[in-house]
Amino acid sequence: MLNRLIPAVDELPPAGHMGLIDEIVRLSGQQARFQGIFESAVNTFTTENTDFSSRSGSEQDDAIQQFESGHPELFNSILTISYIVYYKDDRVHKRLGWSGKTPQPDGNEMEPWDDSVLDAMRTRKPFWRRVE
């Protein structure tokens, strides 16, 4: 299923061939509520699609689309965690030119505030509504 959700691009294989399953399982277990929905999603999809791996690509896509429309919350848990784990991967970061660092503790640098950006707005007359 992962291969169909996130296909190959440039030098990267499809997601299902990137060894991400262990991380998906680990991460999904970090919260009981999410884990419950995710495991239910996997079980439901597997039960409804026992011959999934033997189908053609387009048949697999059809099966996923049916699951997506029939079980939106369950499907969404699979898609969400798949996207998160894929986009945590260093290989993906390298391809995108993404630093991959956590937001903290380094943060980012931005140009400081510049008063001159308000030059136009400062010419506008007050228009807040007076109250007697």
Partner 1 sequence: MTNKNTSTDGTVDVLVIGAGASGGAATAWLAEAGFNVKCLEQGYWQDPSKYASASKDYEFEMLTNWAPDPNKRQRDEDYPVNDSNSPVTPVMFNGVGGSTILWTAHTPRFHPSDFRVKTLDGVADDWPITYEELEEFYDLNDEIMGCSGINGDPANPPRSPRQMPPLPLGKDGRKLISGFEKLGWHWWPSDSYINSQRYGEGRDACNFCGHNHMGCYQRAKSSTDLTYWPRALRSGATIETGARVRRITIDESGRATGADYIDSKGNEQHQSAHAVIMAANGIGTPRLLLNSTSDAHPTGLSNSSGLVGKNLMFHPFAMISGTFPEKMKTWQGPLGNIAMSQEFYETDKSRGFVRGYTYQFQRSLGPAWIANGGFRNAVPWGEGHHEELEKRLGSVMAMAVIGEDLPEEHNTVDLDPELTDSDGIPAPRLNYTLSKNSRDQLDHAIGNAKKALEAAGASDIFVDPMMRQSGWHLMGTARMGDDPSSSVVDKWGQAHDVDNLFIVDGSVFVTGAAVNPTPTIQALALRTADYIVSNRQDLKG
Pick between residue 51 and residue 107 the one whose CB is nearest to partner 1. Answer: 107
Pick between residue 43 and residue 88 the one whose CB is nearest to partner 1. Answer: 88
Pick between residue 34 and residue 44 the one whose CB is nearest to partner 1. Answer: 34
User: What phi and psi, each to the nearest 5 degrees, are found at residue 42?
Assistant: -65, -45
Q: Is 15 exposed, middle or buried (0-12, 13-18, 19+ CB in 10 A)?
A: buried
**Footprint of partner 1 (CB under 8 A):** 4-7, 9, 27, 30-34, 61, 64, 79-81, 83-84, 86-88, 92, 96, 98, 102-115, 117-118, 120-122, 124-131
- Give residue 10's region: left, alpha or beta (phi > 0; psi -120 to 50): left
- The distance of closest approach from Cβ of residue 54 to partner 1 in the complex, given in angstroms and rounded to an integer, is 19
User: What phi and psi, each to the nearest 5 degrees, are found at residue 15?
Assistant: -55, -35
